[in-house]
Amino acid sequence: MLQFGKFVLTRAVMALITLIIVSLVVFSLMELVPGDCAERYLAFKNTQGSSIQIANELEAERIRLGLDRPFLERWGKWIVGAFQGDFGDSCILRVNIAQLLGDKFWLSLALCLSALLLAYAIAIPVGIIAAASSNAALNNGLRLFSYLGLAMPNFLLALMIMLIGTVYFGETLTGLFSSEYRDAPWSWDKIVDLMKHAWLPIFILGWSATAFALQTVRALMSDEIGKLYVTAAAARGVYGRRLLWRYPARHALGPIVNSLGFDLNRIFNELPVVALILILTDAGYLLLEALARSNDQQLAGAIIFLLTASIVTLNFLTDVLLAVLDPRVRKSILR
Amino acid sequence: MTSQTDPQINTPLSAEDQKAKEAYFTASQGQLIWARFKKQRAAMIAASVLLVLILSGIFAPFLSPYDPTIAGKNKDYTNGAPQIPQFCDKNGCSLRPFVHAVERERSMATNFRWVTQVNEDKRVYVHFFVEGWDYKLFGFIPMDTHLFGTKAEGGFVHLFGTDASGKDIFSRTLHAIWTSMQVGTIGVFIAFVLALIIGGVSGYYGGWIDSIIQMITDAVRTVPPIPLFMAVAAFMPPEMTAEARFFYISLILGFIGWPTLARRVRTHLLTERNQEYVLAAQLCGAPAGHVIRRHLLPSFTSYIIVDLVISFPYMVLSETALSFIGLGLKDPVNSLGVMLQNVTSADVLLNYQWYFIPVIFFIALVMAFVFVGDGLRDAADPYSDSHK
């Protein structure tokens, strides 16, 4: 128990360090964007018609935002705020980012996690069966599917489905909510409405993740299945599905649980592009908006940091889960 | 397969077997990999597809009858359907393939709007090796001969149709393949050099240097690449020239793509650095850089090559995604991402289906790379025999 506690603690510290490095990377990127928040805000105000003495105002605004402080100090402030869920104000909209994001970020996270769940719900059983069977047609079919999953990027799939849906079925598959629920407070009806729309983004986000997971599961299972302990178990009279699940599958699934974080990474990767095509009103779309259109560094930084933080958290959780299941993992990290 | 020890090793081998065995044992690593690669039908087909695509990319200006940029556009045939050369029509047959001429007309009958019509009585013959727009083959040989085209005044042939501004989609697709592959190649190369240096240092020294480098690598790996690409690409001032943009995109792809290979290199070096030949080199006074470069890295060249082939489609995919959302290459440049951008409206699916032709090429390119990469991996990995 003591050893386990020590493991969790070490792992937590490592996750924290990773997060801090990530925040440094993200913050430096934000700083590198030409022009700072003050300039952008004043430029925005000018377009609104209020004429300001740019030179004076700019200095005042910089000081007000604390942009005259040294880099490290600002980064420190940002990261401390970030851990408390406060990312400051958006450069252009002048709304607190936490407010602006609201449940949009959680919505995106839920979409991605569902996609991940879907991918594994399909990939694990199918992959195990494929590895165990010697059916050439099944195996080649799966292989082709996996390649197609890799070769056909999610955005292309989204595009095709959406276009075909609109043209031949006349349904609008875009968006996450029907118009009457978009700004309504959360209610049961709203959740039902969300479900009606969310299946498509979930399916699309899960598409290449499924293909990828399938390949991994199959490869790991075929490595395990020929090993002696499986033969020994079969000799003891364990057979069929029971044999597969109790012996090789258990070993094969370790590395897969371990890679959950990076699979989530892959799904996040596609989020902004899929959001663009399906016009989802989620964090992915906001990110795209902030980066491609309005150059709102503060908002973009916050979203990227939140995405990364979820991956780091998931990595941490899966490692702890693995340590519970398999004591060897605990030793590997403590050395 | 042949690599397994022969169970009947004691029985005398026939002369032929002996020869085969000798050939096997004296073959170089490259020959062995090639021999194994040849046995995989899917990978061989993919390799030939890939070869065709690469060649058509290299010879794009020669193969395409029209300049793919605005300059070469056909003003009179916008959103035109693909024209398939034919040998026969209602007026009889000819040995030389031809397409029918298109004419734009505006009259009472068309309600005074410009309408493009096919004139079935007028033939535009397709000639081979015609002189057209100037280009530089391989970037330096000035030429103006093209594989095919028309000699008729004002006659055009568009195999894949034209887009909204009258640009020839066939020419654009060929150029786009080449651009995307160039971006990918530069990106892969930069990522490759970075990965070898970072992974090499990390694996060779080990200890705390390794720990720190691994922490940074992990942090870079945790950030999802496309949002990161987007963040970096957002620095590009919109007034950047097409060439500068092109190199910038390749640079970004390279600078973000290294962690996976770096990690693989590091793991290999960690196991390899305790070998005796490394110790011998060190005792001879070889500096670290020399040992890494001349002794350690060559010991798994085949893995690195395979890894490069496998990571190539991801570079192309990233470029495409980036261009697709409007942060990568922009319209006068032809890349696959830019071409894909054009298919986003329902209008295209309903009326101008030929816009999807570049999509087929794109999928074919990525699939070919994935198949070849996988075939190479199977061929280069000596342990892959056991589970097939």
Alpha-carbon distances, residue B365 vs A196, B57, B211, B312 (angstroms): 35, 11, 38, 11
Q: Using a CB–CB cutoff of 8 Å, tell me whether B383 touches chain A.
A: no
CB contact under 8 A, A18 and B386: no
Q: Using a CB–CB cutoff of 8 Å, tell me whether B327 touches chain A.
A: yes
Q: Using a CB–CB cutoff of 8 Å, tell me whether A153 touches chain B.
A: yes
Chain A partners of B223 at a C-beta cutoff of 8 Å?
Answer: 22, 25-26, 304, 307-308
For residues A244 and A325, state if they share a domain: yes
Measure in Å the smallest separation between the Cα of A94 and chain B Cα atoms. 20
Q: Using a CB–CB cutoff of 8 Å, tell me whether A151 touches chain B.
A: yes
CB contact under 8 A, B234 and A291: yes
Query: Which of A48, A66, A98 is the last residue before a domain boundary?
Result: A98
Residue B27 has pLDDT above 50, yes or no: yes
CB contact under 8 A, B325 and A288: yes
Residue B385 has pLDDT above 50, yes or no: no
Q: Which two tokens stand for residue B251?
A: 């640079």
Tens of pLDDT, residue by residue over A35-50, are 667 776 676 666 666 5
Specify the higher pLDDT residue, A53 or B40.
B40
Chain B partners of A304 at a C-beta cutoff of 8 Å?
Answer: 223, 227-228, 231
CB contact under 8 A, B363 and A156: yes
For residues A144 and A201, state if they share a domain: yes
Query: Which of A82, A98, A114 is the last residue before a domain boundary?
Result: A98
For residues A200 and A295, state if they share a domain: yes
Helix (H) or strand (E) run with residue B53 in it: helix B41-58
Interface test with A, best of B220, B222, B360 (most A CBs within 10 A): B222
Give the pLDDT of residue B72.
62
Name the residue facing B227 among A17, A153, A304 (closest C-beta). Answer: A304
Q: CA A285, CA A268: separation in Å to the nearest integer?
A: 12
Tens of pLDDT, residue by residue over B28-70, are 767 777 777 778 777 888 888 889 888 888 887 777 777 777 6
Measure in Å the smallest separation between the Cα of B43 and chain A Cα atoms. 12
Residue A127 has pLDDT above 80, yes or no: yes
Q: Using a CB–CB cutoff of 8 Å, tell me whether A315 touches chain B.
A: yes
Q: Using a CB–CB cutoff of 8 Å, tell me whether B361 touches chain A.
A: no
Give the pLDDT of residue B41.
79
Q: What is the mean pLDDT of residues B106-119?
A: 64
For residues A190 and A325, state if they share a domain: yes
Range 267-286 of A in CB contact (< 8 A) with B: 268-273, 276-277
Interface test with A, best of B41, B212, B215, B226 (most A CBs within 10 A): B226
Give the pLDDT of residue B9.
52
For residues A140 and A59, state if they share a domain: no
Amino acid at B160: F
For residues A282 and A312, state if they share a domain: yes
ipTM: 0.74
Query: What is the pLDDT confidence band of residue B386, given thresholds at 50, 70 and 90?
Result: very low
B380-B381-B383-B386 Cα dihedral, nearest 10 degrees: -70
Range 30-59 of A in CB contact (< 8 A) with B: 30, 32-34
CATH number of the domain residue A213 falls in: 1.10.3720.10
Name the residue facing A222 among B218, B349, B387 (closest C-beta). Answer: B387
Choose the weakest-confidence range: A93-97, A241-245, A288-292, B108-112.
B108-112
Q: Using a CB–CB cutoff of 8 Å, tell me whether B222 touches chain A.
A: yes
Q: Which residues contact A219 (CB under 8 A, 6 or more apart)?
A: none
Tally of structural domains, chain A: 2
Average pLDDT, chain A: 77
Contact between B219 and A22 under an 8 Å Cβ cutoff? The reply is yes
Tens of pLDDT, residue by residue over B362-380, are 888 888 888 888 788 777 7
Contact between A303 and A105 under an 8 Å Cβ cutoff? The reply is yes
Measure in Å the smallest separation between the Cα of B256 and chain A Cα atoms. 12
Provide the β-strand partners of residue B141.
B137
Q: Using a CB–CB cutoff of 8 Å, tell me whether B207 touches chain A.
A: no
Average pLDDT, chain B: 76
Range 133-192 of B in CB contact (< 8 A) with A: none
For residues A80 and A135, state if they share a domain: no
Contact between A152 and B368 under an 8 Å Cβ cutoff? The reply is no
Q: B175: helix, coil or strand?
A: helix
* Parallel, antiparallel or unpaired: strands B92-105 and B141-150: unpaired
For residues A109 and A146, state if they share a domain: yes
Range of the domain at A186: 104-334
For residues A166 and A245, state if they share a domain: yes
* CB contact burial B2-35 (16+ within 10 A = b; e otherwise): eeeeeeeeeeeeeeeeeeeeeeeeeeeeeebbee
Sheet architecture: strand order including B115-137: B86-89, B92-105, B115-137, B141-150
Q: Which residue has the tokens 């012996």?
A: A247
Choose the weakest-confidence range: A263-277, B125-139, B169-183.
B125-139
**Nearest-by-CA chain B residue for A222:** B387
Q: What is the mean pLDDT of residues B109-137?
A: 69
Give the pLDDT of residue A52.
55
For residues A186 and A88, state if they share a domain: no
Chain B partners of A161 at a C-beta cutoff of 8 Å?
Answer: none
CB contact under 8 A, A22 and B222: yes
Contact between B316 and B365 under an 8 Å Cβ cutoff? The reply is yes
Name the residue facing A33 among B235, B317, B370 (closest C-beta). Answer: B235
Chain A partners of B327 at a C-beta cutoff of 8 Å?
Answer: 291-292
Chain A partners of B219 at a C-beta cutoff of 8 Å?
Answer: 18, 21-22, 25
Q: Which of B234, B253, B329 is nearest to A291 (CA)?
A: B234
Q: Which two tokens stand for residue B255?
A: 């600078």
Specify the higher pLDDT residue, B70 or A269.
A269
Amino acid at B367: M
Tens of pLDDT, residue by residue over A153-199, are 777 788 778 777 777 766 666 666 666 666 666 777 777 777 777 78
Q: What are phi and psi of A207, to 5 degrees?
A: -55, -60
Q: Which of A21-30, A118-127, B52-61, B63-72 has the highest mean pLDDT?
A: A118-127
CB contact under 8 A, B231 and A303: no
Query: What is the pLDDT confidence band of residue B112, given thresholds at 50, 70 and 90?
Result: low
Tens of pLDDT, residue by residue over B144-182, are 777 777 766 666 777 777 777 777 778 888 888 888 888
Measure in Å the smallest separation between the Cα of A89 and chain B Cα atoms. 18
Range 229-258 of B in CB contact (< 8 A) with A: 230-235, 237
Chain B partners of A153 at a C-beta cutoff of 8 Å?
Answer: 317, 320-321
**Nearest-by-CA chain B residue for A223:** B387
Q: Using a CB–CB cutoff of 8 Å, tell me whether B4 touches chain A.
A: no
Tens of pLDDT, residue by residue over A221-258, are 877 777 788 888 888 877 777 777 777 777 777 778 87
Query: Which of A98, A130, A150 is the last residue before a domain boundary?
Result: A98
Q: What is the mean pLDDT of residues B114-136?
A: 70
Question: In chain B, what are the domains?
Answer: 73-165 (no CATH), 172-387 (1.10.3720.10)
Measure in Å the smallest separation between the Cα of B124 and chain A Cα atoms. 35
Give the pLDDT of residue B3.
46
Name the residue facing B224 among A25, A159, A269 (closest C-beta). Answer: A269
Q: Which of A220, A224, A244 is nearest to A234 (CA)?
A: A244
Range 159-198 of A in CB contact (< 8 A) with B: 159, 163-164, 166-167
For residues A250 and A171, state if they share a domain: yes
For residues A224 and A292, state if they share a domain: yes
Give the pLDDT of residue B170.
83
CB contact under 8 A, A153 and B320: yes
Residue B388 has pLDDT above 50, yes or no: no
